[in-house]
Structures are given as C-alpha cells and as structure tokens.
Structure 1
C-alpha cells in the first residue's frame, strides 16, 4: 500500500471530523466492499504505529452492513451494529485492548459499500 495525499473531498471530511471531534487525524484507509462476499475478519486495530489507545473514526458510505464486536476474554459478550450510509463509528480509549471487531460476509444481496477509517499514525 502506497500512501497518497488527501483528495479535496477526503480533506473536507477530515476537517469536518476535526471540527466535530477535536481530533486531528493524519491518515485515511479506504476499504471497498463490492458485495456480500467482501468482508473483514475478526481483528483489533492494535498496530504499534497507531499508539497505545488508538482513535479510529469510521465512515460508512453506500450499502449498509453489520459491524460485529466481541469481547476478547469473554467470547459470549457480543454486539452487532448496523452501519448505515453516512454513519460514523468512533472507537477510542481501550476499545482495541478488550474487543475484536469484524464486518462479516453475508449471503444477502449487497450493493457496494465504501468504508473510510480515519486514524492517527504516530
């Protein structure tokens, strides 16, 4: 993956997040979900370059998809959120220490979805 400069539209979204959340994000990762077969398995955003308690702002565009959370130690503790077009999901604090998350595959007919995840790279 090779980083690019922010496009004018992405810069506008980044500045809007800064104004609303008072957080200065430095990068944006774009994921394209072409249909229900595209997914993102269980993981935590705990890469060293994101820092100890990373802040991640996730904007969903297009097709709504479910976002699953499960506790790392007690696998019976789970949550499911429907991320609709235009929704903002904010993960911060110790979320990545205690929770895993995913966007699972689905057999339900799906249109394209774009997910923008704004992060702070240390």
Structure 2
C-alpha cells in the first residue's frame, strides 16, 4: 500500500475532527465494507508507528454497523456500539493496550460502509 496526499474532501473531514478534538492527525486509513460479509476480526490498533496510547478517530459513512469491544484481561467486560452514518468514534489512552475491537459479519447488511480512521503516525 502506498500513501497518497489528503484530497480536498478528506482535508475537510480531517479539519472538522481536529477542530472538535484539538488534535492534529497525520494519516487516514480508508476501509470499504461492501456489505455485511466484509468485516474485521478481533484486534487492537497497536502498531509501533502509532506510539504509546494512540488517539484514533474513526468516522463512519453509509450502512450502520455493529462495533464490538472486549477487555483483554476480563472477558466479562464487553460493549457493543452501533456506528451510524456520520458517527465519530474516538479511541484514546490505554484503549489499545486493554481492549480488542471488531466489526463482525452480518447477513442483515446489504449496503456499503466507508470507515475513515484518522491517526498520528510517530
């Protein structure tokens, strides 16, 4: 994968998020979920390039999808969120150290979803 410069649309979205959060992001990962068959498994965004306690702002466009969280140490700690069109999910602090997250598969979703995750690459 090769990075590309931010286009005008991404700069506008990035600017609004940065203004609201008072954070400057350096990169954006774009994911297309064509329908409910596209998903991602349990993971943490703990790449070395993101540094310790990364701030990740995730914006959803299109189909509403479920976002699951589970604690790495205490499996009884779980959460489920519905990521609606236009929603902003913020993960920061020790979230990536202590929690896993996923977008599960579902037969109910037939529409597309675009997810933009804004990050700071160290």
With structure 1 as the length reference, what TM-score do the two structures score?
A: 0.98
Q: How does 1:1-122 map to 2 (within 5 A)?
A: 1-122=1-122
4+ residue runs of structure 1 moved beyond 6 angstroms? Answer: none
The whole-number CA distance in structure 1 between the counterparts of 2:109 and 2:96 is 31
Q: RMSD between aligned alpha carbons?
A: 0.6
The whole-number CA distance in structure 2 between the counterparts of 1:54 and 1:108 is 32
C-alpha displacement of 1:70 = 0.1
Contact 2:63 2:109 in 1 (8 A): no
Determine helix, strand or coil for the equivalent of 1:96.
Answer: helix
Determine helix, strand or coil for the equivalent of 2:121.
Answer: coil
In structure 2, runs of 5+ residues without a counterpart are none
Number of equivalences: 122
The whole-number CA distance in structure 2 between the counterparts of 1:70 and 1:109 is 23
C-alpha displacement of 1:110 = 2.2
CA deviation profile, 1:55-99 (whole Å, cap 9, x unmatched): 000000000000000000111211000000000000000000100
C-alpha displacement of 1:104 = 0.4
With structure 2 as the length reference, what TM-score do the two structures score?
A: 0.98
